[in-house]
Every structure is written in C-alpha cells, then in structure tokens.
C-alpha cells in the first residue's frame, strides 16, 4: 500500500480528527467497542494498533473491518461512489541525512517519520466476496471471567488491595488500591477502573520503566490530564475492548471533554505518543510476547526516540 504522496503534518491531521470527535461529544478512547471488537484489516486479518484503534473505532460502523482502495479492487470489489476515506498512520524509519558521514554504517542514525494512508470500512464497499466478510458473532456471556483472566495473566503484577474508597497505583509500594466492587455502579466500571490503575503500574522501573511515571515526584498524584493519565485512559480502553466491556461512567462528561480538548489543542503530538505507550502497556498486561514482532519493535523504538 502506498502512502498519500503529500507533505502534511500528520500529527496535526491525527489530532484534528480526535478533536472533531471530542467536539461532537465522543471521547475516542472511551468509545464502547465491545460489540465490534478491535478494528482489523479485512485482507490481512491484522489488528490495527496504537492511535489507529482510536481513529477507526470511533466511526461507529457495524463491523470494524477496513481495507484500502487497492485491496478492495484486488478482491473484485469496489468502494461506493462518494464514500469518504478514513485516516490510518504508520511509522517509517529514515536515515538522518543531517548527521556527519563517519564512514561507519553502525554510526548512521535513523529517525521515526509519521506517514499516513486511507482506508474504507467494508460497509462503504460493494461486491466484496461473501467468504471474506465476518460472520455475526453471538454476544459473549463471560465478560467478567475474561476480565479476571486478564488480571491473572499479567506478569510480575503489583499487589492489588481493597482499602477505602480511592482507586490509585502507589509506585513506592508497587500496589494498586481499589474500592470494593459493590461501591461501583456496575462490575464493568470496577474492572475498567482496575485496568486503568494496572496500566499505570506497567510504568514502574521493574516493568516498562515509563519516564512519565518514573520521573514524577509523586507519581500516584499525577495531574488528571497529564500524558501519563492519557496513557492510562487509552490503555484501559484497549483492555476493555479486548474483554468486551464498556466501563465508562459518564459523570462530568462535558467537563471531561473540555479539559481534553484544551490539552490536545496545545500539543499535537500528545495523542499519538500516548497511544503508542498505551498499546505497549496493554501488551505487557496481556503478556503478548509474540504477534507482529516487527510492528511491536517499531513501537518500542519510537517510544525510546520520541521527544515530547
């Protein structure tokens, strides 16, 4: 697939898409995705990762299956006239031509460069062979069991306690504290909150050593709208989608959206970076060591070289 051959500020494109959703009252990292699952490419079957999950899941199609214009044609189908394409981003590594030539290949530095291309949902296409289209899946009845399995499979998990009425991760003692389940409006909200705190815990030195958590003076009191908080918000929703639950309590919905709108308008790179960190944290909790190794390595390299 070929990226769009235009020089554009892709960070601004992505952030503007997210801002559009927020202005319409939709929080992309809080969108309930349980019925449709994570977005995937129809032809390859590969799930989209990082910021692409937010960009595609917020579109509210019946099925979260996408493909490029050329892929639709390759299957004998076509994109319907007048349909609007959707943004997907990827990272390309380029050699830093500004560095001096040291005559040593090992000295050459590569820098991440954000590119984008366009995809369409299968609902925007016609004549796609039936055997490529997903079958309707019955509703799951084991959501809570799945949530428990996610918590249990987390490697080197922090201690989880239930004391008082505050939910937080304490980095010094490496523990997650949660109110008891009966204090939440439902069990889904309880697990969503637990996932949020577990995402925070992945930033500890003994796990992913995330600088936004480790370098904070009092990490468990990080400002609500900081980069680390956005990472935990998005990461928890990745896990919610994996488990098939919608655990958002819509209290203070308008204030929540306005605060994030202000933050994202002031930092166009924030949402992309936080999404990559969140994907890495969710993969850690799910103990996903295999999968698309090349893409995971690229995300890890990106995080290490990203300047925020």
pLDDT reported for residue 5 = 44
**108 Cβ contact partners less than 8 Å away, ≥ 6 residues apart:** 95, 96, 99
Distance (Å, rounded) from C-alpha 296 to C-alpha 303?
A: 11
pLDDT reported for residue 52 = 93
Tokens of 115: 């590119």
Distance (Å, rounded) from C-alpha 78 to C-alpha 69?
A: 7
Angle ∠(306,85,127) on CA atoms, nearest 5: 130
Domain locations in the chain?
A: 10-129, 143-305
**118 Cβ contact partners less than 8 Å away, ≥ 6 residues apart:** 4, 68, 69, 85, 86, 87, 88
pLDDT reported for residue 100 = 56
Distance (Å, rounded) from C-alpha 139 to C-alpha 236?
A: 21
CB atoms within 10 A of CB 227: 22
Tokens of 164: 């008082």
pLDDT reported for residue 4 = 47
Distance (Å, rounded) from C-alpha 274 to C-alpha 166?
A: 24
Q: What is the mean pLDDT of each run of 10 residues along the chain (308 residues)?
A: 57 92 85 66 92 88 91 94 94 70 60 88 93 63 76 95 90 93 86 95 94 63 65 92 75 76 89 92 88 55 55
On whether the CB atoms of residues 61 and 121 are closer than 8 A, the answer is yes
pLDDT reported for residue 195 = 96
Tokens of 212: 């936004």
């Amino acid at each position: 697939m070929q990226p769009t051959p235009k020089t554009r500020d892709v960070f601004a494109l992505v952030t503007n898409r997210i801002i559009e959703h927020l202005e319409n009252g939709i929080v992309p990292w809080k969108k309930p995705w349980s019925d449709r699952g994570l977005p995937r490419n129809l032809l390859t079957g590969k799930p989209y990762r990082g910021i692409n999950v937010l960009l595609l899941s917020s579109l509210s199609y019946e099925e979260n299956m996408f493909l490029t214009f050329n892929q639709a044609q390759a299957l004998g189908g076509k994109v319907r006239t007048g349909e609007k394409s959707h943004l997907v981003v990827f990272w390309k590594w380029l050699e830093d031509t500004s560095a001096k030539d040291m005559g040593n290949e090992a000295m050459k530095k590569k820098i991440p460069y954000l590119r984008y291309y366009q995809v369409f949902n299968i609902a925007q296409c016609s004549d796609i062979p039936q055997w490529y289209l997903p079958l309707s899946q019955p509703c799951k009845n084991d959501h809570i069991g799945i949530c428990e399995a996610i918590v249990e499979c987390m490697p080197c998990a922090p201690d989880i306690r239930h004391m008082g009425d505050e939910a937080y991760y304490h980095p010094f003692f490496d523990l997650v504290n949660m109110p008891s389940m009966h204090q939440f409006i439902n069990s889904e909200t309880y697990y969503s909150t637990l996932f949020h705190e577990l995402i925070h815990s992945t930033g500890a030195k003994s796990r992913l050593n995330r600088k936004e958590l480790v370098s904070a003076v009092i990490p468990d009191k990080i400002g609500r709208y900081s980069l680390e908080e956005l990472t935990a918000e998005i990461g928890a929703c990745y896990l919610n989608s994996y488990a098939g639950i919608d655990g958002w309590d819509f209290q203070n919905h308008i204030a929540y959206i306005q605060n994030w709108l202000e933050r994202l308008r002031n930092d166009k790179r924030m949402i992309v970076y936080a999404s990559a960190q969140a994907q890495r944290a969710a993969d850690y909790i799910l103990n996903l060591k295999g999968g698309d190794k090349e893409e995971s390595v690229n995300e890890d390299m990106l995080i290490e070289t990203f300047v925020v």
